[in-house]
Amino acid sequence: MTNANKITLPGKKRSTISALLRFLRLGIHPQSFVKSSGLLRSYKENRPVDFAGNPLPWLPYSLIRILDERVTNEMRVFEYGAGYSTLYFADRVETVVSIEHVEAWVETLKTAMPDNVVLEFQNKGQSYIEAPSRFSKFDLILIDGLDRSACMEAAKNSLTEQGVMIVDDSHREEIAAKILELKDSGFKALPFFGPRPTSLIETQATVLYKSSNALNI
C-alpha cells in the first residue's frame, strides 16, 4: 500500500554539463570506485584484475573485500572452475585445488600456476561433482562451474568444521532453492551484491557458513 503522505527530501538537480563532468571524473579521480577497485582496468582489458593488474576472482567486489581481509595463509581452498580466482587464492592461502572442464583452458592455466596449486581437467559428471572428496577437507570451497546445485550438496561433506562455501550466481532459481535446503540443514546464508570485475551489471554470490567459520562472519 502506498503512503500518500510519505515525506521526501528535495535535491539539487545538476545541469547536463555538470552531470557529464561528474561522470567523466569517475575515470580520473584516484578514489573513484571504478578506478580504485580496478573495474575500469578490468573492463578495458576484459579480464578480472585489480587496479595494479593483479588477478581477482570473478565475484562481487563487496565479497572480494571480505576475502581480502579474512582469507589466511593457513587455509585450504577448493574450486569448481579454474581461472583468475585460482591465482588470487594461490597468493593468499596454503593450498588451492581446482578442477576445470575445459581442457584447453587447463593447459593455458598450467603455464601460470605456482607450486601450491593442484589443477586438474575433469569432464562433467559424477567424478566432477564429487572431486573434493578425493582430497583432505577444505576451509573454503568456491562453486563457480558446472552442475552447481549438485556440487553444493557434495561440497558440504568436504568442508572442515569451520569451512565455508561460496556460490556464484546464487540468484539463479535452482541455486536459490538449494540454498534454502542447506539452510534447513544448519547452514546460514549471506548474499553479496554489486558489480564484479569486467562488468557493471549487478551480480550476486552467497556465502554459506556455520556459526563458527573460517571467515569469522
Full set of structural domains in the chain with CATH = 48-209 (3.40.50.150)
pTM of the model: 0.89
> Around Cβ 166, how many Cβ atoms within 10 Å?
25
**In terms of pLDDT, which residue wins out, 18 or 130?**
130
Mean of pLDDT values over 16-27:
70
Taking all residues of the chain, what is their mean pLDDT, rounded to a whole number? 92
Measured between alpha carbons, how far is 158 from 197 in angstroms, rounded to an integer?
Answer: 29
pLDDT in tens, 92-119: 999 999 999 999 999 999 999 999 999 9
Mean of pLDDT values over 141-150:
96
> Percent of the chain, pLDDT > 70?
94
Measured between alpha carbons, how far is 146 from 193 in angstroms, rounded to an integer?
Answer: 21
pLDDT in tens, 151-202: 999 999 999 999 999 999 999 999 999 999 999 999 999 999 999 999 989 9
pLDDT at 32: 81
Cα 172 off chain centre by = 15
List phi, psi (to 5°) of 103: -65, -40
**Which band of pLDDT confidence, cut at 50, 70 and 90, is reported for residue 20?**
confident
Reply yes or no on whether the pLDDT at 207 is more than 60.
yes
pLDDT in tens, 28-76: 777 888 888 999 899 999 999 999 999 999 999 999 999 999 999 999 9
**In terms of pLDDT, which residue wins out, 49 or 15?**
49
Measured between alpha carbons, how far is 141 from 190 in angstroms, rounded to an integer?
Answer: 15
Measured between alpha carbons, how far is 210 from 188 in angstroms, rounded to an integer?
Answer: 6
Residue recorded with cell 539539487: 12
